Structure 1
Amino acid sequence: MLVTGATGYIGGRLVPRLLEAGHRVRCLARDPGGLKGRVWCRQVEVQARDCLRPGSLPAAMAGVEVACYLVDSMGAGKGFEERDIEAARSFARSAKPDGVRRIIYLGGLGESDSELSDRPRSRVQTGEALRRAGVPVTEFRDAVIAGSGSLSFELICYLTERLPVMICP
């Protein structure tokens, strides 16, 4: 099983569950240092790869049947939408010739033909980019996942610490 985004909130919680279920896990990370300190780090194969550098991906796909795609560029700031779509294209194109049989993707709520803000539109378009390569994709869609350590949770904490009272329409 291949997991991208293991340094993130969802990926960091998915990997130990996969290990508990008996799966061999390979984690891809732009910065493998982000995995240091995880109790499960020594139980997985870690490879330094970047989905925006397609040439780095084929070796990582070798022997993988199922790949969990949890890459998200929102934290990188302006232009994240284009980076998300390009990373998904590169990943899916590399997965197909290497025999990956399924990509599992955590997307967001919304439909491509509806009026969406940048973030949800990017998640929908990322799913579409993954599917275009021809590898079957199972897409889960969430609205907001908030738990201790998640970006959503941290933003809520930050706001409540700074603005204990907020007037909303």
Structure 2
Amino acid sequence: MTEKRILVTGATGYVGGRLVPRLLEAGYRVRCLVRDPSRLEGFSWAKHVEVVTCDMSKPIRAAELMRDISAAYYLIHGQQGGKDDAEYDLQLARNFASAAEQAGVERIIYLGELVDPTARLSPYLRSRHETGSQLRYSHVPVTEFRAGMIVGSGSALFEMVRYLTEREPVLIC
């Protein structure tokens, strides 16, 4: 096992829930930063990771919880279901980047959206694009991956389409 310790935020999400077991298989020590540890209960890998609790909107202990981290995966989406989601998303990114810098994290890895920043974007896509910029304001190097829509078994979109196709024999769009 390597001594490199990896921090994963968003570990209970679609991408994070699939990333953590791969990191463990590769021999990394994984620390999951979560708001609600009870959401990890359904994951078979949960007993093999270090779990720390922190809400990035109130990051009082965030830097302390990031000590000894080589790379930190930022997979947080700050959607609350309100009109201020974009600003909330950016605040989370600023808080995370600041804490990572204070803690001496070597690299932040962010999964953003594949967009044309010169195009007219929805508030959601604009905030996802700007989140990458917010993370880069710190002195911590950032690797940003940009993905299009991620669809797979268990993802919200996949499950919605499955639900509709199981109940409606024909869909007209």
- Same-fold call, TM cutoff 0.5: yes
Choose which of 69, 81, 84 in structure 2 pairs with 1:77.
Answer: 81
Post-superposition offset of 1:167: 3.0
Q: 1: distance between equivalents of 2:127 and 2:164? A: 24
Match of 1:63 in 2: 68
Unaligned runs of 5+ in 1: none
Question: Which of 22, 27, 34 is matched with 2:32 structurally?
Answer: 27
SS at match of 2:38: helix
Q: Which moved more, 1:155-164 or 1:32-41?
A: 155-164
CA distance in 1, matches of 2:126, 2:101: 25
Structure 1 equivalent of residue 3 of structure 2: none
The one-letter amino acid paired with 2:119 is: S
Aligned pairs for 1:85-124 within 5 A = 85-124=90-129
Quote the sequence identity (%).
53
Contact 2:9-2:76 within 8 A present in 1 as well: yes
Q: Distance in 1 between matches of 2:8 and 2:143?
A: 14
Amino acid across the alignment from 1:28: L
The change in CA–CA distance for 1:113 and 1:16 in structure 2 (over 3 A counts) is same
RMSD (Å) for aligned C-alpha atoms? 1.5
Q: TM-score, normalised by structure 2?
A: 0.90
Q: 2:131 aligns to what SS in structure 1?
A: helix
Count of paired positions:
167
Deviation at 1:20, TM superposition (A): 0.3
Mark the runs of 5 or more structure 2 residues left unpaired by the alignment: 1-5
Deviations 1:47-103 (A, max 9, x none): 1111111213111111011000000123x2123212211100000011012111110
Q: What is the CA–CA distance in structure 2 between the aligned matches of 1:165 and 1:131, rounded to whole Å?
A: 46
Paired letter, 2:19: L
Q: Does residue 165 of the first structure (1) align with residue 170 of the second (2)? A: yes
Secondary structure of 1:146's aligned partner: coil
